[in-house]
Chain A
Amino acid sequence: MNGMSKFQTTVQDDSEKPMRKASEHLDHWYLEPDSPTRARVSNLKFWYGDGTQAIDDVSMPLIDKKVTALIGPSGCGKSTFLRCFNRMHDLYPGVRYSGEINLLPEDEDLINLDPNIVRMRVGMVFQKPNPFPKSIYENVIAGLRIRGITKRSLLDEIVEDSLSKAALWDEVKDRLHQPALSMSGGQQQRLCIARALAVEPEILLLDEPTSALDPIATAKVEDLINKLAGDVTVLIVTHNMQQAARISDYTAYMYLGKLIEYNKTNDLFTAPRCQRTEDYITGRFG
């Protein structure tokens, strides 16, 4: 609730600024999609097992083959929102959803699908690199194995392809059969991205993928995400606004479980439609 009081003070501060017109201070705003959408979230609400509501009535599109960033202060529900897309919450007892996340054009509500099937279609990379304690090669094909793909030549091909996409192939091609845990943190994270890409996900979720990495490794992962756009639909949570500005095409700003503003990244950062967004991106709050 500390965040709330801070927020209120900033509103007071801004009311003293005479240049702004009241009409510009929108409460919520979101851009109607102008490109093909891969998914549409409608009135999504989410409750954890202990009854706390973490997502409150969020609606937004997810543009096909573009990078969408979720920003907002800690605890605003951006990671929770991301994890709804692959039903990660279902691993823990008592969680509840309402609303829809429709995959388009199939028009399938992934809230009503079998979570295992959803996770076969929607990939995810976590905050902390979490390679399995196996070889690099085995890590990349981990998802293929459980999809029943065993043909060696195909596996080899996908391994090279995925590692190349993850900008890791040149670094590891001579030690594919060494343990993944012998790699550096940045390499491990790119391996996790390769592992997620190997199964050709329809949507790739990235949950603060660079927060555990040093600046050089971060730059490499950001490069990689930039290259993925145009190929994969990416939804990324980041606490780093510069990162969101650098790598995303669309940005959604969330606060206290609500979506405040969804816009093209450039517009959101240069001309935010909502006062609360402006306060956040200019660093006056959060």
Chain B
Amino acid sequence: MATPSSRRLETSKVQVSTHFLRKREMINQVARYVLMLAAIISVLVTIGIVYVLLSEALVFFEQVSVWEFVSSTSWTPMFSRPTFGIWPLLSGTIVVSGIALAVSIPFGLILSVYLSEYANPKVRETVKPILELLEGVPTVVYGYFALLVVTPLLQTFLPGLPGFNMLAPGLVMGIMILPYTTSLSEDAMRAVPNSMREGAYALGYSRFHTATKVVIPAAMSGITAAFILAMSRAVGETMVVAIAAGQMPNFTFNPMEGAATITTFIVQVSLGDVSHGSIAYLSIFAAGMVLFLLTLIFNLIGFYLRKRYRQAY
């Protein structure tokens, strides 16, 4: 079928063949379905994971009351008389992630302000790759670093600190996620157009005020996203805590004690000889669901904050 446009071109040197147009349209359609398929697969995988998590957790909650799960402060699934209170795992997760964020948010912000607003290009081109190199260090290395270097170091001025504690893995995890927060929030700040910086300087702003009063507020949505990502990573991080915090469920908010987190418990059970279908086996799905809910909440908070701070420039 000749399109009107191709007919009009007959006297012209630029002839577009119908065959070419048909081929172009076909590629367009194929690309559309391939891309749609990719999108559908990722959605289906997510739904599948949530389905497994929920269905197994439901079996668990048929045997253990939800009330016990959310109110008891004792988590002993391997005992002959098991108890299933999520709080010991939750407290460990909260404390370790909290320490990690307390390290990585301020330092990440300071570093990214320095790199984006103060450092000259040469320094930035040197420091950024080094930071990104830190991302490549395996987490198991960080775990042993926490256990064998940081804990003994902390013990020199905190004599009562046990060999397994939450402080060391928290600090190390903070350093571990620092490159993510720095790199992402630096990207967000560099995306703030230079015209905005010049506007601030033209009003007599100093470099510091330009960074804190103009660039950071303008980049807030990106910075928030960076911190949410850091939070999700901290909550989901397993190896460092499994190695350096002792894997003992312990309901405490004291970072000087050892504890287990949700993730370390899941590792411990899935690697141990727990029979398939047993209550201990099912408990990892319940714990996993809590983890899932936690990250979901963080993402919702991030989504809300991003919407609040979204700026078009």
Q: Which residues of A contact B (CB under 8 A)?
A: 86, 88, 91, 93, 116-117, 119-120, 123-124, 126, 128, 130-134, 142-143, 145-147, 179, 181, 192, 195-196, 199
Contact = CB atoms under 8 A, between A and B. Distances in A.
A114 B21 CA distance: 64
A191 to B, nearest CB: 11
Contact of A130 (B120, B196, B206, B213): B196
B199 A192 contact: yes
B203 A128 contact: no
Q: Which of B120, B199, B213, B311 has the most CB of A within 10 A?
A: B199
B204 A119 contact: yes
B205 A146 contact: yes
A132 B196 contact: yes
Nearest to B197: A91
Given A93-B120, A132-B214, A195 B198 contact: no
Given A124-B202, A131-B199, A145-B213, 9 more contacts: A119-B201, A119-B203, A126-B195, A132-B199, A133-B217, A142-B200, A143-B204, A181-B313, A199-B203
B35 interface: no
A88 B312 CA distance: 25
Q: Which of B198, B199, B202, B311 has the most CB of A within 10 A?
A: B202
B139 to A, nearest CB: 37
B161 to A, nearest CB: 45
A146 B203 contact: yes
Contacts of B198: 88, 91, 126, 130
B169 to A, nearest CB: 38
Given A93-B120, A132-B214, A142 B203 contact: yes
Given A128-B195, A130-B195, A181 B311 contact: yes
Contacts of B312: 181
A146 B202 contact: no
Contacts of B199: 126, 130-132, 192
Give the size range of B's interface with the partner.
20 to 34
A132 B204 CA distance: 14
B201 A195 contact: no
A255 B197 CA distance: 29
A2 B82 CA distance: 87
A143 B199 CA distance: 10
Given A132-B214, A133-B313, A146-B213, A123 B200 contact: no
Nearest to B219: A133
Nearest to A117: B204
B235 to A, nearest CB: 30
Given A181-B313, A192-B199, A134 B204 contact: no
B167 interface: no
B202 A116 contact: no
17 contacts: A91-B197, A119-B203, A119-B205, A123-B202, A128-B195, A132-B196, A132-B199, A133-B196, A133-B217, A133-B218, A143-B203, A146-B205, A146-B213, A181-B311, A196-B202, A196-B203, A199-B204
A143 B203 CA distance: 5
B23 interface: no
B22 interface: no
A128 B209 CA distance: 22
Nearest to A181: B312
Nearest to A198: B203
Contact of B203 (A117, A179, A181, A195): A195
Nearest to B203: A143
B122 to A, nearest CB: 10
A263 B16 CA distance: 59
B202 A132 contact: no
A77 to B, nearest CB: 18
A158 B206 CA distance: 22
B202 A119 contact: yes
A73 B145 CA distance: 63
Nearest to A195: B203
Contacts of A131: 199
A18 to B, nearest CB: 49
Nearest to A120: B204
Contacts of B120: 93
- The 7 A-B pairs at the shortest CB distance, nearest first, are namely A120-B204, A133-B311, A143-B203, A124-B202, A130-B199, A130-B195, A119-B204
A192 to B, nearest CB: 7
Contacts of A86: 202
B81 to A, nearest CB: 59
Given A93-B120, A146-B209, A116 B195 contact: no
A181 B196 CA distance: 12
A140 to B, nearest CB: 11
Nearest to A205: B202
Contacts of B213: 142, 145-146
A117 B198 CA distance: 15
A143 B200 CA distance: 8
B200 A132 contact: yes
A88 B201 contact: yes
